[in-house]
Amino acid sequence: MTDQNAKNLKPWRHTVATHADRGVTFDCPVSVELTFVMPKPKRPRWTTPATKPDIDKLERAMLDGLTDGGLIADDARVVRLLAVLEYAEVDNPVGVHVAVMAL
């Protein structure tokens, strides 16, 4: 989700927004937990993904998508944010796990 991958960012944010549209909008302080599960290379350099895309770009794209989808009224409502990058495994496929909790 970098500027070089801007062509991928818009469809990805749209997908997030579509899945975030659940008829409930948090318009209060919230905590957001994001676990990004990345494809595992054949020979990873580290035990966790410490490569591009940068975690801050992933966070921003997710928060924008959650806001676009109406789950969060405004990303300014996010007062606590935990983001984790991990590699995919057989029982944990590539994707993102999202938890939003009112505070």
Q: Is 34 helix (H, G, I), strand (E, B) or coil?
A: strand
Domains within the chain, CATH numbers bracketed: 3-102 (3.30.1330.70)
- Which run of H or E residues covers position 37? strand 30-38
Residues in contact with 66: Cβ distance below 8 Å, sequence separation at least 6, in sequence order: 16, 17, 20, 32, 72, 75, 98, 100
* pLDDT of 6 above 70: no
Q: What is the pLDDT of residue 5?
A: 58
pLDDT digits (tens, 9 = 90+) for 48-87: 898 888 899 999 999 999 999 999 999 999 999 999 999 9
